[in-house]
Amino acid sequence: MGQSGYQLKKCQQEDHNEQIETICYNQQCTDFRLNCSKCEERFHQDHYNDVLRINSLVGFIKDKNTECQNLISDLKTFVEIMNQSFSQLISGI
């Protein structure tokens, strides 16, 4: 218990002791999707551009989270403006 945060798993290849560092998201790929630095030399060579480093993926998710936060605060502002307009409308009647 008490485990929190992001943890890297070990490579699925039996002869590899390295942690997983990259993810392949190529749709035609039949190799292991989660790879360590050793795997990089063996797999995904023909579609190397579809392999993402997990570190950059974490950054990508954080960026998306920030975007969502911004969107939510925009929506809140919008709702406040709506409420103000509505109050003005009611008090004007």
Dihedral angle sign, alpha carbons of residues 64, 66, 70, 76: positive
Quick one: which of 14, 21, 22, 38 contacts Zn ion (CB under 5 A)?
38
Q: Under the criterion CB under 5 A, does residue 16 sit at the interface with Zn ion?
A: yes
Taking every pair of Cα atoms in the chain, the longest distance, rounded to a whole number of angstroms, is: 77
Considering the complex, state which of residue 3 and residue 28 has its C-beta at the smaller distance from Zn ion.
28
One-letter amino acid at 64 equals: K
Q: Under the criterion CB under 5 A, does residue 36 sit at the interface with Zn ion?
A: yes
DSSP state of 9: P
Which stretches of the chain bind Zn ion, using CB under 5 A? 11, 13, 16, 24, 26, 29, 36, 38-39, 44
